[in-house]
Chains A and B, each alone.
Chain A
Amino acid sequence: MTASSARKGANAWLSHAALLVAFGALAFYATHIVREDQGRLWSIAAIGFLLLAGTLASELVAPLGLPHLTGYLFAGIAAGPHVLGIVDEHTVKSLSPVNTLALSLIALAGGAELELGAVRKWARSLVVATTIQTGCVFAVATVTFLLARPLIPFARALGPWAAVGIALCWGALAVTRSPSATLGILSQTRANGALANFTLAFVMVSDVVVVVLVATVLGVARPLIDPSSRFSLDAFVSLAHELFGSVALGTTLGLVIATYLRLVNKQMLVVLLVLGFGVSTVLDYLRFDALLAFMVAGFVVRNLSNQGQKFVHYIEQTGTVVYVVFFAIAGADLDLPLLRALWPVALVLAAARASATWVSSRLASSVARDPPTLRNWAWAGLVSQAGLTIGLSLVVAREFPAIGAEFRSLAIATVAMNEMLGPILFKLALDRAGETSPNRNSAFPPPLLETQ
């Protein structure tokens, strides 16, 4: 790097820092001179601020080798209710439609990035890794929870069988990964290679595995925690309905999207918004798994038509802006006081999960005879946890209301750690594996709404 380019870089960094401070001061000032009940439309400003602050913070952390996603999270934490209070708890809740849109785009992109050829190529590794990772992480997390029971206030009061039941639920949650964090990092780095393909395929497959696992564990844990209830297969009937329905609807949706791309291929921004809001509502109404349905839709577009690349390009154009807000909201939603209270036990549980992930990854790679890149780094992309884990913790909390709130709090505290650390590890792994693209600048201007 020449002195001139270093100076330019330093100037750009300083101007970004100054802008972040200026925008932050403006938003902070506005929230403090006008009463909160006048802030009915503040969610608009909150989205704007998170978008700007996330973009700027991602530029500020980039020289440290940290992923943009970490910058988005930092921006959200700083703006959130526990630090500056620019985005309060009510506003965070009111921004849930953004999360719905982002999750649908993430799932569509995840499915569309999965090429059947690559899945076939890595099939053996995927089957071995899924089996070993699921079994090993589930077992280690369950045992760790039981061992750490004296440190966990709500578990201390439980009887031995009830504690086993809750530990099993914890083990199932530990198996969840974060499709959003994986996609977010891949979208930023434009990474391509064995590690990127394997991690994406694994995370998407594990989403389905986890849904089945959680349903199974809940069925087993219910009689352990509440002796009056019995093991029932009813949950599996509704699970089968959910899974088959999601796949069927996702396939249909994928075919419709592929046909649209082939015959019309215009105004994809509006089409993606309709998918994100309208179809999500329909899926929610039908009680189908939106993540799975959109993932299948993306997979169908990619593998059953020749429109896949085009589709991925459109989602990337729209998605990047949505991802910034999505992860910044996730940062604002982090419960810092709770993390402060539960950090010792959360740290133990997160460390045990990460260690189990590392060990089982090495083991699976040896069994599957994976290339060195996967053997060394496949674990790094599997540490992240985010919205899916918190969503499933809510399912567990609803199932067992007596300990539900405390269980969920512990899950949120652990997810907070994995959410912060996971993306950094994955980015580092992709960098070390040489799969990241150094330049992601694309043509200007974009055809966001013009005839494509």
Chain B
Amino acid sequence: MNTVGLLMGLLVLSYLGSFLVSRRSVGGVGLPSGIEYVTLGFALGPRVLDLVATRDISAFEPVAQVALGWLAFGLGLDFGFANEKRVSAARIMFGFFGALLTGSAVAVVTWWAVQRLGVGASRTDRILLTGGVAAVCCETTRHSVAWVIGPRKTWGPLADVINDVVHADDLFPLIPVAILFALDPIPGIALPMPVLDWSLITAGLGLVLGAGAALLMRSEMPVEDTWAALFGASLLLVGTAARLSLSTLTASFVMGLAVSALSRRGPRLRAMVGPTEHPVLLPALVLAGARVDFRVSTALPWIAAAAVAARLASKVVVGWALAVGSKPARSAGPLVGLSLSSSGALSMCIGLAFALRFPGIVGDSVLAVAVISAIVGEFIGPVRMRRALLAAGELEERASPSTEQVTA
């Protein structure tokens, strides 16, 4: 397939993605993590059918970078909001610390596995691999609750709590990503600096461009100019961060946060940018899938197994903590935490960002673990979520979303 053919294919996917948006909900449509699009990309990619060659995938790196940046910008813009209402500070903190706990547990186990198996050529490689795997295993997809409940259903208190928490856990994984990207600076940069400084510059870049975009959109302006400001700032940020080899994801996320915080038009901007998530996400997932290489290392199955096990165990602990602090979660049973095991777009984006930034054993392993974690999450997360909501009396016994979707 040539690059134009691939571009057309991605645009068709984008078209399908925008149809999903027009249905107003992702409930019951596809899988919560979007792993089916990753699988499609994998099947078309060089490891299976070879319809999308490695050369074509490389030609689309700028497209992938832009997609990652835009998705992260959307996440930042929407951070602290769920179902168009503000998430309480307590739940944001819980989401953050839940992700921190999961990430730390996964990091410890992965580090142990990486050391034992002797993966990576250097200590920096091992740190990058461990940190990347921890980052892709932290979060829970924001669509997990909506997918189980389905469209046009009333949300109960448990669904509300879980939905708020999964919307609040996006921030944590992007912090280690910024640090890890700064850990391995590009050669030839005329401004050598410590890792922490580069990490701060990553956030500062997002903050400055976000503030600039907010200032630009301060006065009433035509819609086209608003898009120009948002696209322009986002692309400038992605290109600059890529040139400096910083994390485009973190910088874009911070830019989204800054625009949301500093612009008086936050809700309207969220309404503008929100519908673009799926049209951008689906092609990015296919590109990620085409890059996946499960044969990158013989140690990969062991690393993935250790990381996923640590993730699931941590989620159980997070669920237990949720039950302690929240009455609705208590009624859902002791394994409510497993309902948080669906990973999603952010994990896949981090995996793809690692694969682009650290091609070879580090990046490919991180992306592969992101995919494996998402697949395992699909088998556990939605089932446990349904059970939890049933136990809490927030879902009727026969309300299978996929069945509803078909009959509707």
Which residues of A come within 8 Å of B, CB atoms?
Answer: 12, 15-16, 19, 22-23, 26-27, 30-35, 37-52, 54-56, 266-267, 269-271, 273-274, 277-278, 281, 316-317, 320-321, 324, 440-446, 448-451
One of B11, B219, B221, B236 near A45 (C-beta < 8 A): B236
Which of B271-279, B311-319, B347-355 lies at the interface with chain A? B271-279
Which residues of B come within 8 Å of A, CB atoms?
Answer: 4, 7-8, 11, 14-15, 18-19, 21-22, 61-62, 65-66, 186, 188-191, 208-209, 212, 215-216, 218-229, 231-240, 242-245, 265, 268-269, 271-272, 275-276, 279
Q: Are A441 and B221 in contact (CB under 8 A)?
A: yes
Q: Are A451 and B22 in contact (CB under 8 A)?
A: yes
Q: Are A34 and B188 in contact (CB under 8 A)?
A: yes
Closest to B220 in A: A441
Q: Are A270 and B226 in contact (CB under 8 A)?
A: no
Closest to B23 in A: A451
* Residue numbers in A under 8 Å from B224 (CB-CB): 316-317, 320-321, 442, 446
Q: Are B65 and A55 in contact (CB under 8 A)?
A: no
Closest to A94 in B: B62
* Additional A-B contacts beyond A35-B188, A47-B239, A278-B11 (10; CB < 8 A): A15-B215, A26-B240, A30-B243, A38-B243, A49-B236, A55-B232, A324-B228, A440-B222, A441-B222, A448-B275
Kindly state the separation between the CA atoms of A395 and B167 in the bound complex, as whole angstroms: 57
Q: List 28 A-B contacts (CB under 8 A).
A: A34-B243, A38-B186, A38-B189, A41-B65, A41-B243, A44-B235, A44-B242, A45-B235, A45-B238, A45-B242, A48-B231, A48-B238, A51-B228, A52-B228, A55-B216, A55-B228, A266-B19, A267-B15, A281-B4, A321-B224, A441-B221, A441-B222, A442-B223, A444-B223, A444-B226, A445-B223, A446-B227, A451-B22
Nearest-Cβ distance from residue B95 to partner chain A, whole angstroms? 28
A270-B22 contact, Cβ under 8 Å, with A44-B62, A444-B223: no
Q: Are B212 and A23 in contact (CB under 8 A)?
A: yes
Q: Are A277 and B4 in contact (CB under 8 A)?
A: yes
One of B218, B232, B279 near A48 (C-beta < 8 A): B232
* Residue numbers in A under 8 Å from B19 (CB-CB): 266-267
* Residue numbers in B under 8 Å from A450 (CB-CB): 21-22, 275
A266-B239 contact, Cβ under 8 Å, with A321-B227, A444-B226: no
Closest to B8 in A: A278
* Residue numbers in B under 8 Å from A444 (CB-CB): 223, 226, 265, 268
A12-B243 contact, Cβ under 8 Å, with A266-B19, A267-B15, A278-B4: no
Nearest-Cβ distance from residue A257 to partner chain B, whole angstroms? 15
Kindly state the separation between the CA atoms of A150 and B212 in the bound complex, as whole angstroms: 53
Q: Are B275 and A449 in contact (CB under 8 A)?
A: yes
Main secondary structure of the interface of A (DSSP, over half): helix
* Residue numbers in A under 8 Å from B237 (CB-CB): 48
Nearest-Cβ distance from residue A196 to partner chain B, whole angstroms? 19
* Residue numbers in B under 8 Å from A49 (CB-CB): 232, 235-236, 239
Q: Are A449 and B18 in contact (CB under 8 A)?
A: yes
Leading 10 A-B pairs by shortest Cβ distance: A45-B239, A48-B235, A48-B236, A51-B232, A320-B224, A52-B232, A44-B239, A41-B242, A451-B22, A445-B272
Kindly state the separation between the CA atoms of A289 and B112 in the bound complex, as whole angstroms: 63
Q: Are A33 and B14 in contact (CB under 8 A)?
A: no
Q: Are A30 and B240 in contact (CB under 8 A)?
A: yes
* Residue numbers in A under 8 Å from B223 (CB-CB): 317, 442-446
* Residue numbers in A under 8 Å from B22 (CB-CB): 266-267, 450-451
